[in-house]
Chain A
Amino acid sequence: MFKAIFSTLGRFRLFIQIVMLLLTVYGSNVVGFYMAEKVSNALPALSCAYDQQNGGYCVLIPTQHVLHHRIGEALVKAEQVTAQIVLPLVFTLITFFTFFFVLGKVFCGWVCPLGTIQELINKLGRRLNFPLRRFENGNVSRVRLVKWLMLIVLVLALPLLTGMGVTPHSLGNPYCDICPSRIATTLLTGSTEQMALRTGDGITFALGAIANTLVGFMLVAALAVRQPFCRICPMLSFNATFQRLSPMRLVKKQHDKCDKCGVCAKACPMDIHEIAREHGAKAYHEDCTLCGRCVEFCPDDGVIQMKWGPVTLFKSSREYYKQRMKGEMPDGTLKAVATSRKPAVESENA
C-alpha cells in the first residue's frame, strides 16, 4: 500500500515537504494561536515567527532574542547572568536538540518551508527547460563559507552587541530582517506586511531592502540553481554544528566504481562533490540536507545509506536506481524534457 502510493523516496519526501509546508506556514489553525501552543519555539527549520498563521518558530529567532533582549537586563543585574542568559539559551538549545536528535538535518531537506519552496520552483525550472547552474569544485567552497558568516555575524554577534548596547536596536535580530522565509511564508498567507519596507530608519530600510532583493533573487535563481538560499542559510550551519550528535546520518561505503561514476554528486541539490569521492564520515558533509537523492541515484547496492543509529532507513540499490532513472535524470531534469531539447543554433552564441 505504502509503496503503491510512494513509489520512490523522492515522492515520499515531496509528500512530507508539502505537509510540513502547510504545517509551518498555516499550522496555527491546528496547533493553536498563542506562542505557547506552537509545535516548538526552537525548530531546526525556517518556520517564520512573523507569519501569523504558522505552526512553530525557527530556533534562530529565540537565539537572537535571548542575546538581544536579555543581555542588557542581565548586565543590570549581573548576579543573575545565569538565570537571565545562560538558562534561557540552554533551554532553547535543549528544545532544538530534542527535535534535532530525532531527525537531524532531515529538518533541512524534508521540513523547512523555504527549502520546499525553492525545490518546487526548481522543479518548475526543470519542466520549463531552464538551464541548470551548478557550483563546480572550485567556487562551491567559497559559497560554503557564507553560511558560517551568516550564523556568526547575523545570528550571534550583532544581537549580542545590540543587547550590550554597542550597536543600535535596529540590529537586534538582523538575520530575521534579511531572511527570505519571513517574506515568502507571509506572502503565502496573503499578507504583504513583511514585503513592505520600513522607511523611518536607515538600517532597518537597508536590511529590508537586502531581504527583498534576496527573496527576489532566490525566487528567480531557483529556476536554474538548486536550493540557492540553502547554501548560505545560517540554519544549515547551525544544524551542521550539531550534525554529528544526531543518530540520523548519511553513510557511504568505499567502492571501486565511485571515482568514475559521480552520479550521486550530480543528484545532490547542494553540489556536494565530495559525496562521489569520499566515504565514511567525510561523505556526510556539512552542507548535506539529508534529502536522500544521492542514495536514490546511486547505482550500486548498499553503497550509500540513510541510517538512524544502527537502523538502515533507506539504501541504494541497482533496481531502485533503474526505476528512478526512468522518470528523472540525477540533476532533476525530467526525462521527457531532456530528450525533447532541440539542437543548438550557432548564431545565438554571438
Chain B
Amino acid sequence: MQRSINLILSATLTLACASAMAEGRPAEGRPAGAPAAAEAIHQHDHHDHALGQIMAPDGKPAAAAVQGKWQGREWTKYPLLTPMMGRVGDRAAATLAVKNLQPAVLEVFAAEGPADRLRRQFPVVPEGTPIEAVTPKIGNYHWVSAREEAEGKVTVASTAYFFGNPGVAPTKLLLQQKSELEIIPQPLPREHGAWRESEKWRFMVRFNGQPLANQTVKMETEFGTRTAFVSDEKGMATVLFPRDFKSAEQNERGGRHGGPRKAKFVLAAERDDGGKHYLTAFNYTYSPDSERDKSLLAGVGFGVFGMLLATPLLRRKKSENNHSAKEA
C-alpha cells in the first residue's frame, strides 16, 4: 500500500515539474475572472479573430509577427498623457508626458481633500510635466486631463493616475463632468488589479454629462491593434482588450517587481456639435492575461500531490474503530 502511494506521489511530482517546464509558452485565451471551462476559452479565441474586430494597421489580424514593431515609435495619432519615470520614494508626485497635443496646462482632479485643491492646473513642461496628489497624504486615483481648442476643434486627452497613498474610492470622481465629450472607465482597476488582455470592461461615453448611445469608440494599442466598439443605449461601450502581448516582449518589458507587465492603449471618440468638432481620448495601460506564463496543470499537480500526502490520515485502523464505537 505504502509503495503504491509512493509511486503515485513520484509520478504526480514528475508530471507537475515536467508540465511546468514544458509550459513556458503563454497559455492561450484564458480571460481572467471568467469561467475556466475549455469551451469558454475556445469561444473567446474564436471571438477575437472570427469577428474580425482586432486588426493590425496593415489589415492583417494582429498576430505575433506584427507585435512589438510599434514599441518605441509613435503608435497612435490620438493625444496621450503617459507617466514618466519619477523619483523613487515620492508617493505624492508624478511626471507626465504629453503626446500629440499642445495644451497649456494639465488639470488634475481629486476625489477628496481641501476644496481649493480638488481641481488644480499644472503648466505643461516639454521634458515632462510634474503633477501632485491633492495633498501629500491623500492618494488613490486622480484624474488628469489636457485640453486644446483651436479652429473649431476641441481635443481632450485624459488618463487616471494612482498615487500610492490611501484615499477614497474614485466612483464619484469618475462621474463628475470634466469636459464636453468624455470616455469614463466604469470602473477603473482596483489597486493591484489591472485591465487584462481578453477581458471585457465597460466605458461610459458622455456628451455634456449625458450618456451617448451608438457612439463609436476606437481603440488603439501599443502593440498595433486597431479596433472599435459602439456604446449601447446607456452610453456604455464594452471594450474587449485585445490579446496582443507576446511572451518575448513581456520578458523584455518586465515590470518593476516582475509583476504584471503593461502596455499602453487609448480609447477615442469624436463628435460634431454646434459647429465644433470634439475629440476625446482616454489612455491607460493593460496587462497580459493573468494566466500567461503560468501552468494550471502544474498547479493542479501540486494540489493533488498535497492531497495524496494527506491521504494516509484518512485510513482508519480497526483499533480506532473499536475505540470510537466504545466512546459512542
Contacts and interface: CB of A to CB of B under 8 A. Distances in A.
B160 to A, nearest CB: 12
Interface stretch (A29-37, A109-117, A139-147, A280-288): A29-37
A77 B89 contact: yes
A220 B32 contact: no
Given A197-B296, A338-B325, 15 more contacts: A32-B169, A34-B171, A52-B33, A131-B324, A172-B257, A196-B291, A199-B295, A200-B293, A204-B258, A214-B306, A216-B310, A219-B310, A342-B321, A343-B322, A343-B325
Contact of B294 (A73, A74, A197): A197
B306 A199 contact: no
Contacts of A311: none
A211 B195 CA distance: 26
A63 to B, nearest CB: 15
Residue among A73, A195, A338 with the highest chain B CB neighbour number at 10 A: A195
B35 A190 contact: yes
Interface string A65-77: 0000100111011
Contacts of B5: none
A169 B255 CA distance: 11
B193 A212 contact: no
15 contacts: A35-B190, A36-B140, A72-B88, A131-B313, A169-B256, A169-B257, A189-B33, A196-B294, A199-B20, A199-B294, A216-B305, A216-B309, A220-B313, A342-B321, A343-B325
Residue among A76, A213, A214, A342 with the highest chain B CB neighbour number at 10 A: A213
A216 B89 contact: no
Contact of A197 (B140, B187, B295): B295
A128 B324 CA distance: 14
Contacts of B51: none
Interface string B276-315: 0000000000000011011110111111111111110111
A197 B302 contact: yes
B168 interface: yes
A172 to B, nearest CB: 6
Contact of B321 (A191, A216, A221, A343): A343
B200 to A, nearest CB: 14
A215 B140 CA distance: 33
5 nearest A-B pairs in the assembled complex, by CB-CB distance? A216-B306, A344-B318, A338-B328, A73-B89, A212-B302
Given A196-B299, A213-B306, A349-B318, A35 B191 contact: yes
Contacts of A77: 89
Contact of A130 (B303, B304, B316): B316
B302 A209 contact: yes
Interface in A21-58: 32-37, 49, 52
A218 B305 CA distance: 11
Interface residues of A, number: 68
A345 B317 CA distance: 10
A170 B291 contact: no
B321 A344 contact: yes
A195 B30 CA distance: 13
B315 A131 contact: yes
Interface in A167-208: 169-170, 172, 183, 189-193, 195-201, 204-205, 208
Contacts of A341: 321, 324-325, 328
Contacts of A329: 327-328
Interface of A: 32-37, 49, 52, 69, 72-74, 76-77, 80, 84, 125, 129-133, 169-170, 172, 183, 189-193, 195-201, 204-205, 208-209, 212-221, 223-225, 329, 333, 335, 338-339, 341-346, 348-349
A19 B166 CA distance: 28
B145 to A, nearest CB: 20
A349 B317 contact: yes
A170 to B, nearest CB: 6
Interface of B: 16, 20-21, 23-24, 27, 32-33, 35-36, 88-89, 91, 140, 164, 166-171, 187-188, 190-193, 251, 256-258, 290-291, 293-296, 298-311, 313-322, 324-325, 327-328
A201 B257 CA distance: 12
Given A196-B299, A329-B328, A216 B307 contact: yes
Contact of A131 (B258, B293, B307, B314): B314
Given A34-B187, A195-B300, A196-B295, A349 B88 contact: no
A69 B256 CA distance: 11
A131 B316 contact: yes
B18 to A, nearest CB: 12
A221 B310 contact: yes
Nearest to B294: A196
B291 A205 contact: no
A37 B169 contact: yes
A132 B20 CA distance: 35
A209 B298 contact: yes
Contacts of B164: 69
Nearest to B255: A169
A33 B187 contact: yes
Contact of A218 (B27, B258, B306): B306
Contact of B88 (A34, A73, A214, A223): A73
Contacts of B311: 220
Given A36-B167, A190-B36, A74 B89 contact: yes
B293 to A, nearest CB: 5
A193 B168 CA distance: 28
B143 to A, nearest CB: 14
B302 to A, nearest CB: 4
Contact of B303 (A172, A215, A223): A215
A137 to B, nearest CB: 18
A214 B309 CA distance: 10
Contacts of B290: 193
Contacts of B321: 341-344
